[in-house]
Amino acid sequence: MKEIKWTKNTMPKTADGNLPVMALTEVEKAHAFHRTIPGYAPTPLARLTHMADYLGLSDVCIKDESYRFGLNAFKVLGGSFAMAKYIASKTGRDISELDFDTLTSDKLREEFGQATFFTATDGNHGRGVAWAANRLNQKAVVFMPKGSTETRLKNIQAENATATIEEVNYDECVRMAAAAAAKTPNGVVVQDTAWKGYEEIPSWIMQGYGTMALEASGQLADYGIDRPTHIFVQAGVGSLAGAVQGYFANKYSDKPPTVIVVEADAGACLYKGAVQGDGEEAIVDGDMQTIMAGLACGEPNTISWDILKNHVSIFAAAPDWVAAKGMRMLAAPIKGDVQVTSGESGAAPFGVLVEIMTNPAYADLKEALDLNKESRVLLFSTEGDTDPDRYKEIVWDGKQYL
């Protein structure tokens, strides 16, 4: 089987000019908006006490995003907040003046008009954008990369969005979405990655993701855990990872948690950038075939990359079998622990944690992270069984991967 690849972060630091994107005050604004959406509730933070004992850790806590707004994934947090911020900016309002009821009112619709929100996605982000657009009485157009499943396509189309699976990879779909928006009256790109000249909306999306980190922080406190010592977080383009890293770096600026970023080895642009070591972005192209569809991205978010290279301790690239093992262990926990239904991209960081703590081949990585019986580890299961058939193949049927 393939091995987990990892590297310490030795990249030169920058002026850290993007860390304020995830300032606590900005995340609190996003959280305040999300709380106005009908059906909002904090997703559970599963405390796996017996698993922590088994792994030789003090605590293992996993944020379970399979409960988010009935959409089975966290991504709606970013798309909904970014769209709300966009409408606020176009109508001369502050986001604090636009709760969800106001946003969906006929009066605001008449004032704002009709926009078409374009995006690229493997499934979860596009579904979140489509869901928000549908409730805001706006249009959504979604481009999906080669290899996307029909289940995820149909979930997006069920939200009255125009969605297609293209014969290109994710990064090419991003370019297609941007080109289509440029040709459409009132076309707006709502993409969870940033590039030069396109940074405002991605920063709003990251702030929306911050709601998940803010909730987790409060739930840790409820468990009597003052701060996590370690955070394992997955990355595709790095928007989520940058949001989580940015939030906790701001919250615990005097003693930040040790953060390890986990990617799918088929993409792993952040890991490869870290190996490169000069602080410049690394680009991965090709089909990037992996079961971790949400992590199959080859071009970093420029905002997140700046945050990550200033604060992350370790970058890792995981093969598919690691994600599959994580899914199975969370689905069949040690007696007394709660079950977490975690999809391929959601379970990868937990799979890496298990290997570090149980496989002598990763003793050097365990030492580099200083993981021990005093460690309190926070992870994010970013999706549930968003593709139920594949989930059953892996968890029920035991399908094997390399």
Same domain (yes/no): 355, 241: yes
Nearest to 354 by CA among 334, 383, 335, 382: 334
The predicted structure's pLDDT at residue 49:
98
Residue 401 domain flag: no
Confidence of residue 122 (pLDDT cuts 50, 70, 90): confident
Q: Which residue has the tokens 């997006």?
A: 156
Last residue within a domain, chosen from 200, 228, 259: 200
Name the pairing type of β-strands 314-318 and 376-381: unpaired
Residues belonging to the active site: 75, 122
Q: How distant is the alpha carbon of residue 11 from its chain centre?
A: 23
pTM of the model: 0.96
Distance of alpha carbon 288 from alpha carbon 400, whole angstroms: 18
Same domain (yes/no): 96, 26: no
Domain that holds residue 67: 5-73+210-395
CA atoms within 13 A on the CB side of 227: 14
Helices 76-90 and 200-222, interaxial angle, to 10°? 130
Helices 388-395 and 320-331, interaxial angle, to 10°? 90
Distance of alpha carbon 78 from alpha carbon 30, whole angstroms: 9
Query: What are the tens digits of pLDDT across the range 27-72?
Result: 999 999 999 999 999 999 999 999 999 999 999 999 999 999 999 9
Number of domains in the chain: 2
Same domain (yes/no): 106, 127: yes
Confidence of residue 287 (pLDDT cuts 50, 70, 90): confident
Same domain (yes/no): 141, 260: no
Distance of alpha carbon 304 from alpha carbon 39, whole angstroms: 29
The predicted structure's pLDDT at residue 123:
84
Last residue within a domain, chosen from 145, 180, 200: 200
Distance of alpha carbon 208 from alpha carbon 76, whole angstroms: 8
Residue 205 domain flag: no
Look up the CATH number of the domain holding residue 340. 3.40.50.1100
Question: Which amino acid is present at 326?
Answer: G
Above pLDDT 90, what percent of the chain? 97
Residue 323 domain flag: yes
Last residue within a domain, chosen from 182, 200, 218: 200
Same domain (yes/no): 238, 365: yes
The predicted structure's pLDDT at residue 273:
98
